[in-house]
Structure 1
Amino acid sequence: MTSVTRKNLLEWAGTIVVAIVLSLVIRSYVAEARWIPSESMLPTLKVGDHLMTDKISYQFKSIQRGDIVVFTPPAEAHIEEEALIKRVIGLPGDTVSIQERTVYINGKPLKEPYLLEKPREDLKPFTVPEDHVFVMGDNRNNSYDSRFWGPLPTDNIIGRAMFLYYPFNHLKVLTRG
């Protein structure tokens, strides 16, 4: 093997190693791609949609009502999925309730233009504890969420869903509603 060929191989190997390390660092700490496996977030997210998750912004700003978050399920959920995706409805200290198909936050009806359909079942007033949020799917009658397993510890949040990138005809930035 000539010295030129060996030098080229070493340069390529170095480039590949740097690319792999950068990819792992970015995926672990900055952003991560996810896909939607269920109908719990219809109509906002469809089965098979691919989205990018921002894993860093919550280091600098707080979680907001309406954010769509990716998280590891709490132990109380008793499910095996690696990650779930839902919308933040209640923040720490908020009292969440559902009466006559309407979600109330601190006694005021929540405006929810993103819903597929309003929830069928009522929920007694529940105060979200510190360091937790209350999450629900946009497809309220087909979502396993905080109504069933309780508040989500904020430590379980992996990141905020930022935008859909695939399929290409679904491209969009995800907003709070």
Structure 2
Amino acid sequence: MNFALVLFLLLVATAILWVIDRFYAKKRRAPGTPSPWWVEYGASFFPVILIVFGLRSFIVEPFKIPSGSMIPTLLVGDFILVNKWTYGIRLPVINKKIIDVNSPKRGDVMVFRYPADPSMDYIKRVVGLPGDRIEYVDKRLRINGEAVPITGQDDYLHPDRLYYSPRFQEKLGAVEHSVLIERDVPPLVPQVLDYPHRENCTYTTSGVRCTVPEGHYFVMGDNRDASSDSRVWGFVPDENIVGRAFFIWFNFNDMKRIGGFH
């Protein structure tokens, strides 16, 4: 369901009822006669829906993490907030940028419309910017020929499955974050889709090498061997960007997770 479209339609409907109630119905009915219930209720909801629509469309939008592709940074069930204006002001519903503000940076955790199905929202970490040469070969990430710094950490215990994964600290730009890289999973990329600018990538049994087209971004999940990302379905076009994730505001299973994250 396209919630933004539903909210927009509700906004339009309640706005019409508010206008009818304020400028037409009140002037024509007899003093002391109440408005029809559907006009009164619809008009009263208009200011509330207007505020929610404005906040959600231009300031901040809530999301829930549905999968484990961003473990250990984000867990299944995390409720997060996404900054809607940091990458530019966009028209709601059609997501067209009208005011440029900033561009995504390496290391940002970004929400975007899945290129293969724009009705779905995905969340990944920005790895490659327009023009970058990205290599993920033998599970080592290189950007423009330089290896991304990575150091070992304590293994990560998956609380739901009670098994450990090798955890590493990676530095992308100014952002340091944890990633999981399984030792027993082969480096080749399985089931690659046919996506726009597919010719910019070369796949081997050791991994993938790509040149990011202009106006696009290369993204990956922090749970590297359990993430369907740009290695599989290609680049994220600028027009698909929703915003930058920056805060966990709730998790039913662990209240300690509330707060900012990298």
TM-score interval, smaller chain: 0.7 to 0.9
Find the aligned partners of 2:61 and 2:45 in 1 and give their Cα distance. Answer: 20
Amino acid at match of 1:84: Y
3-state SS in 2 of match to 1:114: strand
Q: Provide the aligned C-alpha RMSD in A.
A: 2.6
Give the structure, 1 or 2, with the largest relative contact order (CA under 8 Å, sep 6 or more): 1
Amino acid at match of 1:153: P
Shift of the 99–83 alpha-carbon distance from structure 1 to 2, 3 Å rule, reads same
* Number of residue pairs the alignment of both structures matches: 169
1:124 corresponds to? 208
1:24 and 2:88 matched: no
Find the aligned partners of 1:38 and 1:62 in 2 and give their Cα distance. Answer: 26
Instruction: List gaps (5 residues or longer) in structure 1.
Output: 7-11
| Alignment of structure 1 residues 24-173 onto 2, 5 Å | 24-59=53-88, 60-75=101-116, 82-111=120-149, 112=170, 113-117=177-181, 120-121=186-187, 122-167=206-251, 168-173=255-260
Find the aligned partners of 1:54 and 1:80 in 2 and give their Cα distance. Answer: 19
Deviation at 1:172, TM superposition (A): 2.2
- 1:37-83 superposed Cα distances (whole Å, 9 cap, x missing partner): 000000000000000011111111111000001111112xxx58620
Return structure 1 stretches of 4+ with deviation > 3 angstroms: 12-16
Amino acid at match of 2:258: L
Find the aligned partners of 1:56 and 1:63 in 2 and give their Cα distance. Answer: 12
Amino acid at match of 1:174: F
Instruction: List gaps (5 residues or longer) in structure 2.
Output: 1-31, 35-40, 89-100, 150-169, 171-176, 188-205
Deviation at 1:94, TM superposition (A): 0.5
Deviation at 1:99, TM superposition (A): 2.2
The structure whose Rg is larger is 2
Amino acid at match of 1:18: P
Quick one: percent identity of the two aligned structures? 39
Deviation at 1:100, TM superposition (A): 2.4
CA contact (8 A) 2:128 2:212 kept: yes
Deviation at 1:16, TM superposition (A): 4.4
TM-score normalized by structure 2?
0.58
Shift of the 147–13 alpha-carbon distance from structure 1 to 2, 3 Å rule, reads closer
TM-score normalized by structure 1?
0.84
Find the aligned partners of 1:99 and 1:55 in 2 and give their Cα distance. Answer: 34
CA contact (8 A) 2:79 2:249 kept: yes
Find the aligned partners of 1:154 and 1:56 in 2 and give their Cα distance. Answer: 14
CA contact (8 A) 2:139 2:181 kept: no
